[in-house]
Chain A
Amino acid sequence: MPEGKLCNKQTVDTKEQLNALLADKSGKQYYQELKALDVDGDALWATLQKTCKSRLRTWLEICAHCGMCADSCYFYLANNKDPKQVPSYKIQSTLGELVKRKGQVDAAFMEHVMDVAWSQCSCCNRCGMYCPFGIDMGVMFGYLRGLCFSQGFVPWELKIGSGMHRIYRAQMDVTTEDWVETCEWMVEEYEDDWPKLEIPVDKPNADFIYTVNAREVKHYPEDLAEAAILFHIAGENWTVPSEGWEETSLAMFAGDWAACKMQVESVYDAMDRLKPKRMVVTECGHAYRATVIEGPYWAGLKNGQTPVESIHYVEWVAEALRSGKLKIDPSKRIKEPVTYQDSCNYIRNAGLKESAREIMSHIAEDFIEMKPCKEHNFCCGGGGGLNGIGRYREQRNIGLKVKRDQILATGAKLVVAPCHNCWDAIRDLEEIFHIGIRWSFLKPLLLKMVEVPEHLKPEE
């Protein structure tokens, strides 16, 4: 059975494997090997029989082929209503065919399935809200990605990403030492301006542990500092775990369910170890989805809940503003028209639309909703791992048009985007289309407008 050196059915569990993959620039050799990768049809069929049950089978079977999902899909809209972008068509021609052919398919077909599963669906789950039968094709594509992964048909970056989680329990090669050092470094950087600022590591029984996106640690450490300063101003009793600090899951985007489990268990272990009352997750959508919404199921927690209550950063901010822990200086509120990017992962798929509105009511004087908004909002165009896959850059960029037009229609020049993928996608759409907008996470905006209690100000 031909297996590539880089592209194969093996999971990436060692640094040697990982480095070999990373050395293959843009996955050139990887994708070449993918074309010759053998498909284990019997294994695929066995998995389908075991896991494609009631819900998925019924969805495949009763789909009335009515096309009501068409306009719900931003890919369909952005591609001039190409019928091949109708969600039902996309899933029936991939997962539907796999089931019909009892898994007996060839590499060319699987490559096509991979392309559809990662470049024509960002698993935003919007179609599920527009189907009368409640057929959620985002869920189905998530499942399909798992099948693809099990056969080695996965975009190069996500094979690497899932390997990172397996090796580092983080989406990037950030070790425990790197992480703890970054925390210390940020305190040193900012303690002159913020006396007694701290980022407590592994403090037991805190009111909450704060967990992040590895990208913040590696590329935007000031985000961590901003979080710490805001917690400091709010007088929070908080901590970060030295291990189990990473919330994200490229493994979820990759469909590597075993790695998903390893990743979230590292966070749940931190909860067990440090016994915080709650967990607060940084401004990331998929991280919250992975660790708080889906994670308990991967870890086998029967009530579907994380070991301690977990809230998203927007919930913490809304709470802090409501309780007065954070006070906004009225003269510093955002005066210009401003809009808010509802992240699919924590708005549509986790119900936090009201927290976002509550925050905007405190910080903005001219808040303009996108249309549609809240749980009906369109994906930014970069979700589901799409931002990070070079092979599908062109498809991703076409998809961005829907978000571009939504933002333009609001007339706002500032977009609040408390989600890493949304933030990236909106940055990229500005780079591509030059519509003259700015975009921001909440933390830097809040820092500019919160009132700082006298006793926290540095002595002159």
Chain B
Amino acid sequence: MYAFVTGPLAWLSFGIFFVGILVRIVIYIRGLNWQMDRVAYQAFPAAGIRGAVRSVVYWLLPYGTHSWRYYPFFTLLVFVFHICLLVTPVFLLGHNLLLQERWGFSLWTLPEGVADGMTVALIIAGVFILLRRIALPEVRILTKPYDILVLVIAVAPFVTGFCAYHQLGNYDAWLIAHILSGELMLVAIPLTKLSHFALFFLSRIQLGMDFGIKRGGMKNKGMAW
């Protein structure tokens, strides 16, 4: 079982992840149309790039925009959640040992205590994000089972990984569950709204170019996100 999930299944899920993301990016860009979107994407490259960079960078900075500052607590949850989600698995000691064993190289790794703390932080942030969905009427009305499912898919590898690392109960079962849930997430990224992994950037770049080229970017210092 272990050999299967870390062998063919791993190859398959990484394959779907990488190819899927690439396909999403290509489809997105090909579907843009200067006249239908009413943005002259190619006419003013400098203004376009400037608008795009501003639109991405300000939103990547914690509390970098009016909106992030308007919702300080939720912003904290969002950044903790995403930073932990992206950093922990890539720089986890265990994952890098595996990488060393299979591929003969590894990345810089997080001290185990820090990785553990980040996992817990992510799970707590996930719980609060879920509670917020239920508690706030303006979020509850938008929430569909699909939104909860996507959240569960994103958090599951961390819960199972945490249980396996701390050997709570049956280690082998947790380990298999961890690997499967991680693979499920990889597959889900291009196929569900987790595609915002890539589409966040494309969508922000698009709107940034819209404001940068057409909606005022060439008349002032740029949109005050």
Contact = CB atoms under 8 A, between A and B. Distances in A.
27 contacts: A53-B32, A53-B33, A54-B27, A55-B32, A58-B28, A64-B193, A65-B133, A83-B137, A83-B138, A86-B141, A92-B142, A129-B66, A132-B68, A132-B200, A133-B196, A134-B55, A134-B204, A134-B208, A297-B34, A302-B40, A304-B39, A304-B214, A348-B215, A350-B216, A351-B216, A375-B223, A375-B224
Nearest to B151: A64
A306 to B, nearest CB: 12
A303 B44 CA distance: 8
A81 B142 CA distance: 14
B92 to A, nearest CB: 26
A7 B65 CA distance: 45
A51 B55 CA distance: 25
Contacts of A55: 31-32, 37, 203, 206
A66 interface: yes
Contact of A83 (B68, B141, B220): B141
Contacts of B147: 64-65
A131 interface: yes
Nearest to B40: A304
Contacts of A67: 136, 138-139, 142
Given A62-B195, A65-B147, A81 B223 contact: no
A135 interface: yes
B143 A65 contact: yes
Nearest to A297: B38
B21 interface: no
A71 to B, nearest CB: 7
B67 interface: yes
Contacts of B34: 297, 302, 304
Contacts of B86: none
B218 A376 contact: no
A374 B224 contact: yes
A436 interface: no
B63 interface: no
B166 interface: no
A133 B216 contact: no
A352 B193 CA distance: 36
Interface in A323-374: 347-354, 372, 374
A457 interface: no
A395 to B, nearest CB: 19
Interface range on chain B (Cβ under 8 Å from partner): 35 or more
Given A70-B139, A351-B219, A376-B66, 16 more contacts: A54-B33, A58-B202, A62-B195, A65-B142, A65-B144, A67-B136, A76-B138, A86-B142, A132-B78, A133-B203, A134-B203, A134-B204, A294-B38, A297-B38, A300-B35, A304-B38
Interface in B2-53: 27-40, 43-44
Contacts of A350: 215-216, 219
Contacts of A54: 27-33, 37, 206
B28 A129 contact: no
B108 interface: no
A196 interface: no
Contact of B138 (A61, A81, A374): A81
Interface in B131-177: 133, 136-144, 147
Question: Interface of chain B, helix or strand or loop or mixed?
Answer: helix
A71 B138 CA distance: 9
A84 interface: yes
A297 B213 CA distance: 13
Contact of B142 (A62, A89, A349, A372): A89
B73 interface: no
A88 interface: yes
A194 interface: no
A305 B38 CA distance: 11
Contacts of A352: 216, 219-220
Contacts of B27: 54
A65 B132 CA distance: 11
B59 interface: yes
Contacts of A354: 220
Contact of B215 (A62, A133, A305, A349): A349
B141 A130 contact: no
Given A302-B34, A302-B43, A81 B137 contact: yes
A128 interface: yes
B31 A57 contact: yes
Contacts of B30: 54
B105 interface: no
A130 B37 CA distance: 20
Contacts of A65: 133, 139, 142-144, 147
B67 A130 contact: yes
